[in-house]
Amino acid sequence: MLIATFAARLAASGRAIPALLEGMSDDDARWRPAKGGWSIVEIVNHLADEETEDFRTRLRLTLETPEAEWPGIDPEGAVLARQHGEKPLAPSLARFADERSSSLAWLATLDDGVDLRRTHVHKVIGDLRAGDLLASWAAHDVLHLRQLGVRLHQLVAKHAAPYSTDYAGPGVA
């Protein structure tokens, strides 16, 4: 039941992300706030990377061979090295959607008999159960949905000048 619950969350956020960004120009998708932080297209490509290099891979390894070393990842470095900020939004969203679809198809092969208590011992974090990874995967999407919401709010304010968005309420940090 837990697998189906989190797969449904991942499916919903997988639909929400492209819906939020529908019709956005590449210029807006590449815009970065002056105070720092990723652009929208960098966030989308990071999410696609996480599907293939982090959550799906690490959950599978934890379920199948929990003692195996995990492949290394560097999310911050990958965004820069892979020049995610220069990519057009539409193919980036398509890549995310394709990878999310593959993840959901794989999750659908798991049944309720899968032992989500299987544990990988991470060198830095310590014990991580398969269930921890599954829950964190869904939570990771929500963190980035919030981040996308902030970027969208910032873009509305940017495009509204000389008008104010203050009447809508304060922006989030």
pLDDT the model gives residue 171:
67
List residues bridging with 129 in a β-sheet: 119
pLDDT the model gives residue 13:
98
pLDDT the model gives residue 113:
86
Residue 109 clears pLDDT 70, i.e. is over it: yes
pLDDT the model gives residue 172:
62
List the one residue out of 24, 76, 83 whose CA is nearest residue 54. 76
Residue 173 clears pLDDT 60, i.e. is over it: no
Q: How far apart are CA 56 and CA 134, in angstroms?
A: 9
Are the CB atoms for 103 and 51 separated by under 8 Å? yes
Taking all residues of the chain, what is their mean pLDDT, rounded to a whole number? Answer: 94
For 28-82, write each residue's pLDDT tens digit: 999 999 888 999 999 999 999 999 999 999 999 999 999 999 999 999 999 999 9
Quickly name the fold that domain 2-168 has: Four Helix Bundle (Hemerythrin (Met), subunit A) (1.20.120)
Band of residue 92 on the pLDDT scale cut at 50, 70, 90: very high
* pTM confidence score: 0.94
User: What DSSP designation does 52 have?
Assistant: I
Which residue ranges make up each domain of the chain?
2-168
pLDDT the model gives residue 34:
87
Q: Which residues contact 40 (CB under 8 A, 6 or more apart)?
A: 21, 24, 28, 29, 30, 31, 89, 148, 151, 152
pLDDT the model gives residue 158:
93
